[in-house]
Amino acid sequence: MSGQNSKTEGALGTGPGVGKWWEKEVIYQIYPKSFKDSNGDGIGDIRGITGKLDYLEDLGVTMLWICPVYRSPMDDNGYDVSDYRALAPEFGEMEDLDELIREAGKRGIKIMMDLVINHSSDEHEWFRQALKDPGSKYHDYYIFRQGKDRPNNWRSIFGGSVWEKVPGRDEYYYHTFGKKQPDLNWENRELRRELYDMVNWWLDRGIAGFRIDAISFIKKDLTWADREPDGADGLAKCTKASRVMPGIGEFLGELKRETFDRHQCVTVAEAAGVPYDLMQDFIGDNGYFDMIFDFRYADLDIASGSEWFKRLPWTVKELKEKIFSNQMTMQRYGMAANFIENHDQPRAASKYLKEAQYNTDAVKMLGAMYFFLRGVPFIYQGQELGMVDFERSSIGEFNDLSSIDQYHRSLEGGLSEEDALRIVNLRSRDNARTPFPWNSGRYGGFTEGTPWLGMTEEYPKINAEAQRKDADSIYGFYKEMIAFRQNGPYSETLTRGGIAPVSSGDDVIAYRRYTEEEEIYCFFNFASEKCAEALPPGEALPIWGNMEAPGIQDGKIILRPYQAALIKVR
């Protein structure tokens, strides 16, 4: 069965989720297309990742989450799988993946794969068969409705109706995301069985677990009734009728019993929209998954309703409140999955720090703020260099299908071309997908050819090689921070301890990590001015931070602009 994980023995800490073999992992997310190209075709690949394992080992991460590398026409860069048991040739051969798993294992790094089972590609054999022969069993592997008109008014996540007409027939198929990503019909037992077999097949290959894509969408409202329109297009966002719907637990419970439970693996689900009062079912002791990604604070800059690219003003105080409600909820039931970036989000420095995005103190402070929360930290490639968003000057420079859709919808909604471009630039998923800058050479050493997507800079100033030589760099800081959390003298408290909010000024996020033996106060000043925060009574000892230790006077800590400071209180 699972090859590389061994159960962590030893004293259990306290609190839900503590004592699992994966509790002390630091997970690094790789977007393969943009990480490292090994053969000059401009597209990152598996051998590229293998060639950079020394870099990842040096950084100190213990697990990699690899975004989909399965066979795919790449309409959504691999989130449209046409064969679950084969790899995309541009990414490599199965032997390359086995080599990556093996070589990573030698360095103590495990591999987590992406699992995309809400939908497949329209080029999957099942879908081809379903189209070719409506009488075949594969027709029921997908969601088809007969009729001349669209069955209802639901809007897909990437825009437009969820229904796409089948050419030559009065029939429509359903897609939550893009048109080339038809949803699988989870109501069909045989389909579910095929998926479970495939999941087990992968787990048997020695991977450590899965990040599970868009899984809260697998159950739909089977009445298919129209919803109240919520946008200029007259449609209603499909989440209202297809996300975390009643009955989804039966599918998720079965998935777990038939697959994950039979292996020693770790699972983290992309499960947007799970109400906090259902968290026990999702990540509790016997939950469907080990962890879930919660987007409540990641998405605080955009309207959650109809048109998600619409900007919302937000404050550090709101960010703080959202983080604490996430943390206190997750702690009640299990472990949080903490992140500030991923391949769908803008760069964290640009989003959370705005005009301070190039201020290295601020970038380090932000990194530490989420890193010492309770749970498993995820780092997205390039985050450890403080990469920033890339402003594109015309819609033709974008690859992300959702950005292109949002641009056109913004225009339809009455925005000027200039405003539409500005809005799309701020939230485009391409911000995080620009190729990784390895050095200051042409295309940052990412490729010998021409990169598939424009680079942030052609000869990058922000690059891994320069930062690795500089202990004061953001990379140097991440490396030290990882080592401090994993192996430092306070590791037990920082990984297995509890968390509680500490009240602080509006621009400061402060929390306390604790065990029965130890208490560590963590302060993060998001302001460009210094400030003072109250400390509890007792002896206060600064133990770690992003700059010279803060002053402590009359029971107060004096924080410099953008200071992060961990204080042990006795």
Tokens of 479: 């490396």
Give the per-residue contact string, 233-262, with ligand GLC (x = CB under 6 A; - = no): ------------------------------
Binding to ligand GLC by residue 270, rule CB under 6 A?
Answer: yes
Which range in 8-16, 33-41, 74-82, 348-356 contacts Ca ion by CB under 5 A? 33-41
Helices (H), 357-505: 360-371, 401-412, 417-427, 464-468, 474-487, 491-496
CB of 178 to ligand GLC, least distance (A): 8
What's the one-letter identity of residue 211? R
Q: Does the footprint of Ca ion cover residue 486 (CB under 5 A)?
A: no
Phi, psi (deg, nearest 5) at residue 266: -115, 140
Nearest approach in angstroms of CB 128 to ligand GLC is: 20
Determine phi and psi for 55, rounding to 5 degrees: -60, -45
**Segment lying near Ca ion (by CB under 5 A), choices 37-45, 106-114, 315-323, 513-521:** 37-45
Residue 215 C-beta: closest distance to ligand GLC, Å:
10
Q: Which does 43 bind (CB under 5 to 8 A by kind): ligand GLC, Ca ion, none?
A: Ca ion
Q: How many helices (H) and strands (E) does the chain have?
A: 16, 23
With CB under 5 to 8 Å by kind, the binding choice for 370 among Ca ion, ligand GLC, none is none
Among Ca ion, ligand GLC, none, partner that 213 touches (CB below 5 to 8 angstroms by kind): ligand GLC
Identify the residue whose tokens are 């800590």: 557
Least distance in angstroms from the C-beta of 47 to ligand GLC: 23
116 touches ligand GLC by CB under 6 A = yes
> Which CB sits closer to Ca ion, 39 or 200?
39
**Cα-to-chain-centroid distance, residue 277:** 22
Decide which of Ca ion, ligand GLC, none touches 177; Cβ closer than 5 to 8 Å per partner kind.
ligand GLC
214 binds ligand GLC (CB under 6 A): yes
**Binding status of residue 307 toward ligand GLC by CB under 6 A:** no
Q: Give me the residue label for tokens 């030290």.
A: 480
| Catalytic choice (270, 301, 307, 519) | 270
Contact with Ca ion (CB under 5 A): which of 27, 30, 43, 46? 43
Active site residue 213: yes
Nearer to ligand GLC, 27 or 214 (CB): 214
Cβ-based nearer residue to ligand GLC, 29 or 447: 29
Smallest distance from the beta carbon of 89 to Ca ion, in angstroms? 10
CB nearer to ligand GLC: give 177 or 202.
177
The reply on whether position 344 binds ligand GLC by CB under 6 A is yes
Choose among Ca ion, ligand GLC, none what residue 518 binds, the Cβ cut-off being 5 to 8 Å by kind: none
Contact 224, 20 (CB under 8 A): no
Cα separation, 59 vs 30, whole angstroms: 14
Task: Please pick, from the candidates 22, 65, 177, 562, the single residue that binds ligand GLC as defined by CB under 6 A.
Answer: 177
Q: How far is the CB of 447 from Ca ion (least distance, A)?
A: 7
Nearer to Ca ion, 41 or 99 (CB): 41
3-state secondary structure at position 358 = coil
400 scored as a contact of ligand GLC (CB under 6 A): no
534 phi, psi to nearest 5 deg? -70, 140
Q: Which of 13, 16, 39, 518 binds Ca ion (CB under 5 A)?
A: 39
Beta carbon nearer to ligand GLC, 176 or 329: 176
Applying CB under 5 A, among 45, 75, 183, 344 the residue interacting with Ca ion is: 45
Q: Which is nearer to ligand GLC, 164 or 213 (CB)?
A: 213
Encoding tokens for residue 98? 């086995």
CB of residue 400 vs ligand GLC: minimum separation in angstroms?
Answer: 9
| CA 516 from centre of chain | 32
Among 76, 183, 290, 507, binds ligand GLC (CB under 6 A): 76
Nearest to 28 by CA among 431, 377, 483: 377
HSE, side-chain direction, 13 A CA sphere, residue 201: 10
**Part in contact with Ca ion (CB under 5 A); list of ranges 39-47, 100-108, 154-162, 222-230:** 39-47
Question: What tokens does 438 get?
Answer: 């390895």
CA distance 437 to 52: 13
Judged by beta carbon, residue 79 or residue 475, the one nearer ligand GLC is: 79
- Which is nearer to ligand GLC, 341 or 344 (by Cβ)? 344
The position carrying tokens 């690795």 is 468
Q: Which is nearer to ligand GLC, 177 or 452 (CB)?
A: 177
Taking residue 367's Cβ as centre, other Cβ atoms within 10 Å add up to: 25
Residue 195 one-letter amino acid? L
122 is an interface residue for ligand GLC by CB under 6 A: no
Q: Which of 90, 171, 183, 213 is catalytic?
A: 213
Residue 79, interface with ligand GLC (CB under 6 A)?
yes
According to the binding rule CB under 5 A, does residue 37 interact with Ca ion?
yes
User: Amino acid identity, residue 160?
Assistant: G
CA distance 267 to 6: 16
Residue 343 tokens read as 């391949």
DSSP sequence for 436-459: P--SSSGGGGS-SS--SS--S-SS
Q: Write the CB contacts of 434 (distance below 8 Å, at least 6 apart in sequence).
A: 34, 387, 390, 453, 454, 455, 456
- Residues that bind ligand GLC (rule: CB under 6 A) add up to a total of 9
DSSP assignment letter at 315: -
Separation CA 127–CA 17 (nearest Å): 39
Instruction: Output b/e per residue, 141-160; b: 16+ Cβ within 10 A.
Output: bbbbeeeeeebbbbbbbbbb
Q: Which residue is nearest to ligand GLC (CB)?
A: 79
- If DSSP states are collapsed to H, E and C, what string results for 63-86? EEEECCCEECCCCCCCCCCCEEEE
Taking CB under 5 A as the rule, does residue 51 contact Ca ion?
Answer: no
Residue 533: strand pairing partners: 557
Q: Which residues are catalytic?
A: 213, 270
Residues near ligand GLC, by CB under 6 A: 76, 79, 116, 177, 213-214, 270, 343-344
Residues near Ca ion, by CB under 5 A: 37, 39, 41, 43, 45
